[in-house]
Amino acid sequence: MSLRPRERAYTAYRFGVIVAAFVPLAFTFLRDRKRFILFGSRRHVSDEEHRRRAEYLLNTFLSLGPTFIKFGQVLSTRPDALPEVYTEVLSKLQDDVPPAPYEEVREVVSEDVGDPERVFTRFEREPISGASIGQVHVAEREGERYAVKILRPGVRDRIETDLRVIEATLPLVLRFAKEGQRFTLSNLADQFKEAIREETDYDREARSIETIRENLSDEPVVVPEVVDELSSDRVITMEYVEGTKITEVEELRGRGIDTTRVVQDLQRAYMQMILEDGVFHADPHPGNLAVAPDGRVIFYDFGIVGRVSDETRDGIFDLYVAISRNDIDNMINSFIDMGALDPNVDREIARRMFRIMLDNVRGQDIDDERVEDMIDELQEDMYEFPMRVPRDLALLFRTTTVLEGIFYTLDNSYDFFPVIRDYLVRKRMGPVGRTVVNIAVTADRLVSRFVSIFPERT
């Protein structure tokens, strides 16, 4: 599709701004390989210098706006794409920006569903939450309170412009990357474009809310109801449901709420979403989960939703079977079948990585310190390893990891993984399942942790 003159001019302007922001850092990295760019020896770079560069990168992402804030957040979870010091610094990147002016917000709502000061009896001008893509305002109508989520004015056009710039500059970036990193970065860019476009499509988010609400209608959880006539692809109006943040354990217990029961209810909801329905809330950080006065779990913000295909479920099952049989080649095949590995992967490197996994889990528990030791052991291979965990599969593993942390906060004796493992065994393996249970009792936790070092290409 051809661009209008104004769009071309703005794209050219953003291209200049973005390139100018990254050129100093790009030349610095080029000089690391060849001191004088075209010739010369490699130069040593201290840890302090890498940290300064990481801070520069963080500030650059912040200055460039929503697209690059999101991109930086993705990179912060990617130790296969960036050294540890960069991922550590970028993990501080918060999607926390000043709210859009009320008059601009009012204009968006007016264009899509009507003037908020007429549609609602009260519409709070100050948002209760906000980020670089959208913000939420509380409103009242006919005695009922609503949460109105609004896409920030102009953000979609700006993101599309930035994505065009990323697409135009990617071939140049790939020319200077190592072969394994080219594979990683190319997939990262493709899936990032898809994901950020989904996050700006509020009509899609509303449909996801309705789907999950219907699927969980028999569970003791709360998914806000969407008001269709007051929603659009830039505005979602839903019932306002107030609750206590899920990690406020003392407050919950002080109100007589059984936090172990909360864990059980939340686990059952996710078991159904992931293993039965194939559609799940994929951003369960504590700010997106609360507990109602009656003890039910409340879900907020469905901007990130994962989907689990039948093929992915089959792949996970096959992976467990391979683990139970100590079958390295079929472990590799399972990752290939799930789209997580390039079919042309160097099998020798893959065998080494998976062998280290198996040697460290068979017959013993794995703790976080040992996982980190293993990752350190594999660090050199990771940069050459064409791992490309599909977005939804990585969302699944990341979601499971985040949930485990929440469960531990609510009840530090609760173990999430055996229940999922037993479910898979019962549903998919019947009487043969006990063998897998006994052998793979720690493997599921390690697989989740291992795959989490190769998060999604978003």
> Tens digits of per-residue pLDDT, 238-283?
999 999 999 999 999 999 999 999 998 999 899 889 878 999 999 8
First-to-last alpha carbon distance for the chain, in angstroms, is 24
Residue with the larger pLDDT of the pair 122 and 41: 122
Does residue 293 register a pLDDT over 60? yes
d(CA 260, CA 265): 9
Average pLDDT (189-208) is 89
For 65, the token pair is 């706006």
* Angstrom distances, CA of residue 435 to CA of 158, 246, 314: 54, 36, 18
Model pLDDT, residue 439: 44
For 242, the token pair is 């107030």
- Asked whether 293 and 430 are in contact (CB, 8 A), the reply is no
Residue with the larger pLDDT of the pair 318 and 267: 267
Residue with the larger pLDDT of the pair 10 and 300: 300
Question: Which DSSP state fits 162?
Answer: H
Region of poorest pLDDT, from 165-174, 308-317, 388-397:
388-397
Does residue 290 register a pLDDT over 90? yes
Residue with the larger pLDDT of the pair 323 and 263: 263
Model pLDDT, residue 456: 43
d(CA 443, CA 417): 10
Question: Which DSSP state fits 431?
Answer: G
**How does DSSP assign 189-247, residue by residue?**
HHHHHHHHHHHT-HHHHHHHHHHHHHHTTTSSEE-PPB-GGG--SSEEEEE----EETT
Amino acid residing at 438 = N
d(CA 154, CA 214): 33
Residue with tokens 């985040």: 402
pLDDT digit string, tens, across residues 22-74? 888 777 766 666 554 455 556 677 888 888 888 988 899 888 888 888 888 77
Residue with the larger pLDDT of the pair 191 and 122: 122
Average pLDDT (187-212) is 89
Among 269, 322, 271, 277, which residue's Cα sits nearest to residue 299? 269
* Share of the chain residues as helix, strand and coil, in percent rounded to the nearest 5: 60, 10, 30
* Angstrom distances, CA of residue 129 to CA of 96, 138, 146, 301, 455: 9, 10, 14, 11, 27
Model pLDDT, residue 342: 75
d(CA 202, CA 198): 8
Average pLDDT (283-291) is 90
Mean pLDDT comparison of 150-159, 302-311, 436-445, highest-scoring range = 150-159
Average pLDDT (285-301) is 94
Whole-number mean pLDDT of the chain? 80
Does residue 384 register a pLDDT over 60? no
For 100, the token pair is 């859009």
CA angle (181 as vertex; 175, 182 as ends), nearest 5: 45
Give the confidence band of 223 by pLDDT, cuts at 50, 70, 90. very high
pLDDT digit string, tens, across residues 406-457? 998 999 887 665 666 666 566 555 544 444 444 444 445 445 544 444 444 3
Side-chain-side CA neighbours of 157 within 13 Å: the count stands at 9
Average pLDDT (7-22) is 84
CA 210 to chain centre: 21
Model pLDDT, residue 33: 61
Among 285, 280, 294, which residue's Cα sits nearest to residue 222? 294
Model pLDDT, residue 226: 98
For 422, the token pair is 């037993």
Region of poorest pLDDT, from 117-121, 338-342, 386-390, 425-429:
425-429
